[in-house]
Amino acid sequence: MHTGTRFIVTCALMLGATTVTARGQHSAMPPGMTHEDHLAQLQKDADLKKRGTAAMGFDQDKTTHHFRLSRTGGAIEVTANDPGDTVSRDQIRVHLQSIAAEFAGGDFGKPLATHAELPPGVRAMQQRLRALAFRYEELDAGGRVRITGADGKAVAAVHEFLRYQIREHATGDSLDVSR
């Protein structure tokens, strides 16, 4: 075999092996994280998604969550990724209407079921329930629950709850209060 041909064949084999190896790997490991910690995080994320689908009644991969902090509290927003996905849109709306009513009654069972722990801020929200309002709003591709606190302790509890959601769902939403 000619040296040039051998080189091309060797490169092609190396490229093929690299492609096969890359396909079998998972998402990039964050800097400073061990491989074992990364695998544990991937499993935690998969478990959260599975529990979330069961508790919320819609496919987590077909939807996007956002958690917004404001001076008076914040909001939970969920939308279908595909604007034409009316099934997910309608499931989101049913879920968020239910969440607004349940939270107003002090029932935070769905966040507990989703996260397999009671999120921070929930106990304080339950204690300050009379100082909180939960209002459902329809969005084109889903819905929103606005949470408004009438005093500083209630607002602080809402912020604690929403910051936890931002971290757990890895939404990338700001942890800072918007004006």
Per-residue pLDDT of the chain (179 residues; tens, 9 = 90+): 555 545 444 444 444 444 333 333 346 767 887 888 667 666 666 766 776 566 677 788 999 999 999 999 999 999 999 999 999 999 999 999 999 999 999 999 998 787 688 999 999 999 999 999 999 999 999 999 999 999 999 999 999 999 999 998 889 999 999 76
User: From CA 89, how far away is CA 38, in angstroms rounded?
Assistant: 32
Q: How far apart are CA 100 and CA 8, in angstroms?
A: 63
Partners of residue 132 on adjacent β-strands: 149
Task: Map residue 157 onto helix, strand or coil.
Answer: helix
Q: How many Å apart are CA 30 and CA 15, to the nearest integer?
A: 25
Phi/psi for 100 (5° steps) reads -60, -45
What pTM, to 2 d.p., does this model score?
A: 0.77
Residue that has been written with the tokens 């599975």 in this structure: 50
